[in-house]
Amino acid sequence: MTKVHPNASSGGCEAAALTVWRKSLLFHGDGFTVFDAKGNLVFRVDNYASGSKGEIVLMEADGKPLLTIRRKKLSLGEHWLIYQGEEVANPRFAVKKQVNLISSRSVVHVTSCSSRAKSCLAYEVEGSYSRRCCAVYDDGRRQLAQIKRKEPVGGVAFGADVFRLIVEPGFDATLAMAIVILLDQMFGSRGSLLRV
């Protein structure tokens, strides 16, 4: 069987190459399984189709909650909040799907919500998630993360459910994966992880 994770080494000053598999570790679940360059499980998302509480929890390999993603109630359009761990107050980030009233390359806008932040962090996501070809940029147009198709291994091509997430040094891989989850919610062809 072909491995879905890469067989490359990743140093501290290099971009982290993660392999994202749109598959839960649970038999009857829906979610994501994420491997690092050595094939170690890094993140997972396991949602049951019938048991969703209107939230998605990004976990470490051992199941410890890292971030909880919730759709913002009573908002127009696609507006989501990202919380630390399983907190229900004080979101860390707000994520909004861009509505193109005028020509814009951005499909998603991410802003920090933390009052502790010295300055407001803002990120834009550009490209096409459905084609697994998009990137996250900071307000200085520096690329921080990239989603791209997984290259074939031994002549075996992977479908859209296996792809790469490249995270540049200094950018939080946990936030990058949360952005992937939200892109899947907004633009995924298989439907939402949440049954809201």
pLDDT per position as a tens digit, 163-176: 999 999 999 999 99
Residue at 71 is within a domain: yes
Residue at 123 is within a domain: yes
Residue at 128 is within a domain: yes
- pLDDT for the residue 82: 96
Domain count, the chain: 1
Calculate mean pLDDT across residues 119-147.
92
- pLDDT for the residue 195: 43
Q: Answer for the pair 45, 181: CB distance below 8 angstroms, yes or no.
A: yes
DSSP state of 194: -
- pLDDT for the residue 159: 83
Q: Which residues contact 158 (CB under 8 A, 6 or more apart)?
A: 4, 149, 150, 152
Centre a 10 Å sphere on the Cβ of residue 35 and count the other Cβ atoms it contains: 20
For position 28, which CATH number holds?
A: 2.40.160.200
Domain boundaries, position 151:
16-187
When pLDDT is cut at 50, 70 and 90, the band that residue 28 belongs to is low
- pLDDT for the residue 95: 94
Environment class of 161 (CB within 10 Å of its CB; exposed 0-12, middle 13-18, buried 19+): middle
Q: Does the pLDDT value for residue 57 go beyond 50?
A: yes
Mean pLDDT of the chain: 83
Residue at 117 is within a domain: yes
Query: What phi-psi label fits residue 49: left (phi over 0), alpha (psi between -120 and 50 degrees) or beta?
Result: alpha
What percent of the chain clears pLDDT 70, i.e. is strictly above it?
79
When pLDDT is cut at 50, 70 and 90, the band that residue 190 belongs to is low
Residue at 151 is within a domain: yes
- List pLDDT tens digits, range 86-131: 999 999 999 999 876 565 688 899 999 876 555 678 999 999 999 9
Q: Does the pLDDT value for residue 75 go beyond 80?
A: no
What percent of the chain clears pLDDT 90, i.e. is strictly above it?
56
- pLDDT for the residue 52: 53
The Cα-based distances of 22 to 42, 103, 179, 193 in angstroms read 14, 31, 14, 11
Q: Which residues of 170-196 are buried (b: 16+ CB within 10 A; e: fewer)?
A: ebebbbbbbbbbbbbbbbbeeeebbee
When pLDDT is cut at 50, 70 and 90, the band that residue 189 belongs to is low
CA 101 to chain centre: 25
Residue at 8 is within a domain: no
- pLDDT for the residue 10: 44
Residue at 69 is within a domain: yes
Residue at 131 is within a domain: yes
